[in-house]
Structure formats: C-alpha cells, structure tokens
Amino acid sequence: MKATLSANPFREGLRIERTPSPCTMIIFGATGDLTARKLIPALYNLVLERLLPPGFSVVGFARSGKSNEQFRSELRDSVEKYSRTQPLQKAIWDSFAEGVFYHQADYADPDGYAALSKLLHRIDCERGASSNRLFYMATPPAAYQEIIGQLGATGLAAPGACPTGSAGNRCGEWARVIVEKPFGKDLASAKALNQSLLSVLKEEQVYRIDHYLGKETVQNILVFRFGNGIFEPVWNRRYIDHVQITAGESVGVEGRGGYYDQSGALRDMVQNHILQLLALVAMEPPSSMDANAVRDERVKVFRALRPIGGSQSESFTVRGRYGPGSLSGTRVAGYSEDTGVDHESTTESFVALKLFIDNWRWADVPIYVRTGKRLPKRITEISIQFSCPPLLLFGEAGESMSPNTLTMRIQPDEGISLRFEAKLPGQTTRLRSVNMDFRYSTSFGAQPPEAYERLLLDCMLGDSTLFTRGDEAESAWEFVDGIRCGWDQHPPQDFPNYAAGTWGPESARRLLAEDAREWRRL
C-alpha cells in the first residue's frame, strides 16, 4: 500500500483537547499578586472544565512563613475575587485544595530545595503525580538565575530524574520551567538569562510566557489568516496601504513607579506584546502548526525589521510622559507624582513608532504602533487599512469614500470587523461606510478562557507554540536596543508632553500626518 501525504498539513500541529499526564506545579513567589490574581484562578477554572489530570498538585514556594491551611484559605479568597467563573463551587475547590501545599524556604538555600524534593516525593506517593514537574517563576527577575542554579544543583529540573527514595515508583517523563517576562532589560541581559537557563535546561524545557499570546483573539489571528482563502491573497504590499497597532491603557503607573521607572513603555509593552502582535500579522505561512515552525516565522519578522537608531529615532519614533489631566470626569495625577518615580528620569509612558519590514511581502508598507498609559480608554486592536481603488467612478460621491479597513479587536469587545463602502438607499448615488461585525460573545455565546488557562495547559501538554523562544526574545531586544541607543543620544526636553486622558503627545499625530495619514478614532 502506498503511503499518502496528509491532505491538510496544518492540522498535524493542532492541539486537540486532551488531559496532561499527572504532574505537580511548583510556584516560586507563591505569595505574590500573580499567583493570587492569575495562576490559581486559572488552575481552578481548568479543574472546573475537567482539563487537569487526576492527582494534579500545587506547591507554593516562598520565603514567608505560613501553614498549608493558611495558604489554601488565602488562595480560596483569591479565586472568589478574581476567577472568571462565579460563584465558587465548594466541592470543586475542596477537591482541588487537597492537592495544594506550601513550602517555606529562601531561594538561595540548598536545604530548602532538598526539603522540596522530599515533599514532592511524598506528593508523588500519595497523589500519583508521577514525578512530572512544572516550575513557575513568579518572582522578580533578579531571582531567576539563583532558582535555576539551585534546580540544576539538586537535579529537580532534570526530566526523568527520580527523587531520592523513589525506587519502585514511576519516574517523571518531563520537567519544564515557565519564565515570566521581562526576559531581561536589554539584549545583553537577555543573552545572560538565556545562557543561565540553558546551562541547566534544554531549550524545549523553557517556556517564556507572554500572556498576550494566550488571548483567544490573538490566537485567532493565525486562524483568520491561514484558515480562510479570501484574505491571504491580499495580505501584502500590493493591496495594503498601512497597518496600525494600538495598545492603550487608561490606568497610570498605579503605585509601581519604582519598577516602571526602570522599564518604560518601550521595554514594558513594545519589546514583547506589541512585537508579538506584529509578528503574527506579518509572518509568512508556516509549513505546519508545529511549535518551532510557527516560531521560526515569527523570528524571521523580527530579523527583517528595519533598524531604527541614531538620528533616525527622531523621525521614526515618538515618546511621551503623561502629566495631570482628566479621565472619565475625574482629575488624575501626572506620572512624576507617583510613588517611587525619579524626578530626574526620562522614562517614557507613551511610545509611537513607524516601522518597516524589509521583505517581499511588506516592503515600503508603514506599520504604525502606539502604546501608552493614561490614555482615554483601555483598548488593544490591530487595523489593516487597504489601498484605495485606482479609479473613483462615483463622481462627487466617490470623493468621500473611506478606505476599506479590517480591524481585529484584541480587548475589550473581542472581535473582527470589516469596513467597506455601500450605497445609501435613494435616487442619487451617495456612499456610506458600513461594518460587517463579528463578536466573540454573541457568536459563540460563551466567555473565552483567560490567557493563563490556555498557556498553563499548553505547557503541561508540552506545546510551546504560544511561548517565546530564546532567539525570538533576543531578536526583539536587538531591535529595541537600537531605539534606546538613539534616545540616549537625544534626551527628551518636553516631559510631560501629554495630559492624562488624551491620546498622547501632538508629535504622535504628526508622525502619521507627515505621511498624509491619521490614527484611527477609537
């Protein structure tokens, strides 16, 4: 019998819904906000949907002292407050909480890891977790290298390694580590972090998490592009005039001035979230939906970005900082008034960029991105504006025609809309722009899962498609470092340069006006 090729190679890499093998998740920094707001609510919802394996267990690793019962009680309060599914189902929570444990130790204490190994062995024996391990770095980045070194020294992160005294029990098939962003603060530190990780782990064990990639609407970009036959043929420089990506936040620094003042909008948003959205919009079709095939294409986009540095930073970038203003009728303070902010710093809270991707698909198509804090509303969207028809056939009516626009709304009001021209009813030819609108909430009648639910489950299943590979992170930092070097040579002279509650500095409007374009009204 002759072998036949798969009729649809894209299906080969698609994850079907299945349950991971038994495992234990160890959360370093388990008393922090990330655990309370995101991780435990995500795990609880996965339990509700029967997507976690029998015997699944969680060990919280942190320095403060508390009992298992106290830890479980605090996590229950978090689920009641932050879970997307309400009210809490007591029987489900009680069953889940039986597998939740707390381990007190310092991140640099070898004895703490030895005691952790014994605790994990006991959990394996009592709950059948099979020695599969998922380590989650929910600590400040400064602790990453210490923790990774200790995991390497104790052998806890070695896949297939059995803890002391486990003779006769089935050893684990895998050990994986999830690393939260930021993946460094520049190219040099990103390389150092990757070297530290890979001195203990293999690349396939490392899952660099960017929660934007776990959003349903972000995942849908690939399905929209490569699962439909009508869009991909026009997804190129011949038909697209330009692309706009906006990630606006209405909140300010919110008491995180000490952290944010060392980061800024370029590092905090552009290097990861914005560039990942750009990669999904601009990438070539992968040969399959295999994780590395998809990530290979994302890396190619980063490497094709036209560098911005030196004097170019003045022409292709805008940065801003918000001052006092009004938001939803309420007066709000400026950036420099937040706790922990260095009044001498030049950290930006707003960035706008004009980017070019130097490849055959996108040559000379400008891609405008903007992100900032204290903007009028919280919104993230990608807008593809198509070129106008080459000949206007409708006389004066044609002069008012608007370009066709395809908009993918990432948050809130998740969905996709296509704007096109239509004739108004009547005896004369008058045109009006109309929308074809798809909304997740009305079309599917169900609330989409939180990003962390999908990403945690994918990691347990060994699917790294929605996680950032090491060379991806380094390529993104290389591009961002060029911008920062240019900024260092030309310090801003006008901070603050936009009022809270506005869409950024006037120079952001001019960035597009110089090309006879304008930002979308949101």
Question: Is residue 1 domain-resident?
Answer: no
Asked if 419 and 433 count as a contact pair (C-beta separation under 8 A), the reply is yes
Q: Are residues 427 and 288 in the same domain?
A: yes
Q: Are residues 134 and 64 in the same domain?
A: yes
Q: Are residues 352 and 228 in the same domain?
A: yes
Indicate whether 64 pLDDT > 50.
Answer: yes
What percent of the chain is predicted at pLDDT more than 70?
Answer: 92
- What average pLDDT does range 440-457 have in this prediction? 83
Residue with the larger pLDDT of the pair 397 and 96 = 96
DSSP letter string, 239-274 = TEEEEEEEEE-S---TT-HHHHTTTHHIIIIIIIII
- Give the total number of structural domains in the chain: 2
Question: Is residue 158 domain-resident?
Answer: yes
Q: Are residues 177 and 217 in the same domain?
A: no
Contacts 24+ apart (CB under 8 A), 387-395: 387/238, 387/239, 387/240, 387/241, 388/241, 394/429, 394/431, 395/429
Question: Is residue 151 domain-resident?
Answer: yes
SS (H, E, C) 144-203: HHHHHHHHHHHCCCCCCCCCCCCCCCCCCCCEEEEEECCCCCCHHHHHHHHHHHHCCCCH
Q: Which residues of 140-156 are buried (b: 16+ CB within 10 A; e: fewer)?
A: ebeebbbbbbbbbebeb
Question: Is residue 77 domain-resident?
Answer: yes
Q: Provide the CB-side half-sphere exposure for 223 (13 A, CA).
A: 9
Residue with the larger pLDDT of the pair 284 and 412 = 284
How far apart (Å, rounded) are the C-alpha atoms in residues 438 and 402? 20
Amino acid at 35: T
Question: Where on the phi/psi map is residue 55: left (φ > 0), alpha (ψ -120 to 50), or beta?
Answer: left
DSSP letter string, 362-397 = TTT--EEEEEESS-SS-EEEEEEEEPPPSS--SHHH
Asked if 322 and 499 count as a contact pair (C-beta separation under 8 A), the reply is yes
H or E stretch at 434: strand 431-439
Indicate whether 123 pLDDT > 80.
Answer: yes
Per-residue pLDDT tens over the stretch 343-360: 888 999 999 999 999 999
Rounded to 10 deg, the angle between the 144-154 and 187-198 helix axes is: 10
**Residues making up the chain, counted from first to last:** 522
Q: Domain end: 135, 160, 182, which one?
A: 182
Q: Provide the CB-side half-sphere exposure for 482 (13 A, CA).
A: 19
Indicate whether 456 pLDDT > 80.
Answer: yes
Asked if 343 and 336 count as a contact pair (C-beta separation under 8 A), the reply is yes
- What average pLDDT does range 386-396 have in this prediction? 75
Of the candidates 281, 271, 270, which has an alpha carbon nearest to the alpha carbon of residue 382?
281
Which candidate in 121, 242, 273, 490 is catalytic? 273
Q: Are residues 282 and 165 in the same domain?
A: no
Of the candidates 259, 465, 279, which has an alpha carbon nearest to the alpha carbon of residue 357?
279
In angstroms, what CA-CA distances link 415 with 86, 215, 217, 218?
24, 12, 7, 10
Instruction: Give Cα 296 to chain centroid, integer Å.
Output: 18
Indicate whether 6 pLDDT > 50.
Answer: no
Question: Is residue 205 domain-resident?
Answer: no
Indicate whether 4 pLDDT > 60.
Answer: no
- What average pLDDT does range 428-446 have in this prediction? 78
Question: Is residue 333 domain-resident?
Answer: yes
Question: Is residue 11 domain-resident?
Answer: no
Q: Are residues 104 and 156 in the same domain?
A: yes
Q: Which domain holds residue 388?
A: 213-513
Q: Provide the CB-side half-sphere exposure for 484 (13 A, CA).
A: 21
Question: Residue 135 belongs to a domain with what CATH number?
Answer: 3.40.50.720
Q: What value does the mean pLDDT of the chain take?
A: 88
Q: Are residues 97 and 235 in the same domain?
A: no
Amino acid at 280: L
Rounded to 10 deg, the angle between the 451-461 and 40-48 helix axes is: 80
Q: Provide the CB-side half-sphere exposure for 55 (13 A, CA).
A: 18
How far apart (Å, rounded) are the C-alpha atoms in residues 459 and 473? 18
In angstroms, what CA-CA distances link 249 with 82, 370, 372, 498?
20, 11, 6, 14
Report the pLDDT value the prediction gives residue 171, as an integer from 0 to 100.
58
273 is catalytic: yes
Asked if 264 and 474 count as a contact pair (C-beta separation under 8 A), the reply is no
Q: Are residues 250 and 177 in the same domain?
A: no
Residues of the chain by 3-state class (helix, strand, coil), percent to 5: 40, 20, 40
Q: Are residues 240 and 149 in the same domain?
A: no
Q: Which residues of 303-328 are buried (b: 16+ CB within 10 A; e: fewer)?
A: ebbeebbeeebeebbbbbbbbbbebe
Indicate whether 190 pLDDT > 80.
Answer: yes
Is residue 108 very low, low, confident or very high in pLDDT (cuts 50, 70, 90)?
very high
Q: Provide the CB-side half-sphere exposure for 123 (13 A, CA).
A: 29
pTM for the predicted model, two decimal places: 0.89
Q: Are residues 361 and 308 in the same domain?
A: yes
Asked if 290 and 339 count as a contact pair (C-beta separation under 8 A), the reply is no
DSSP letter string, 460-476 = HHT--TTSB-HHHHHHH
Q: Hey, is 437 helix, strand or coil? A: strand
Report the pLDDT value the prediction gives residue 170, as an integer from 0 to 100.
47
Indicate whether 2 pLDDT > 50.
Answer: no
Q: How, if at all, do strands 133-137 and 175-180 pair?
A: parallel
Question: Residue 275 belongs to a domain with what CATH number?
Answer: 3.30.360.10
Asked if 43 and 60 count as a contact pair (C-beta separation under 8 A), the reply is no
Question: Is residue 456 domain-resident?
Answer: yes
Indicate whether 444 pLDDT > 90.
Answer: no
CB neighbourhood size of 214 (10 A): 22
Q: Are residues 379 and 508 in the same domain?
A: yes
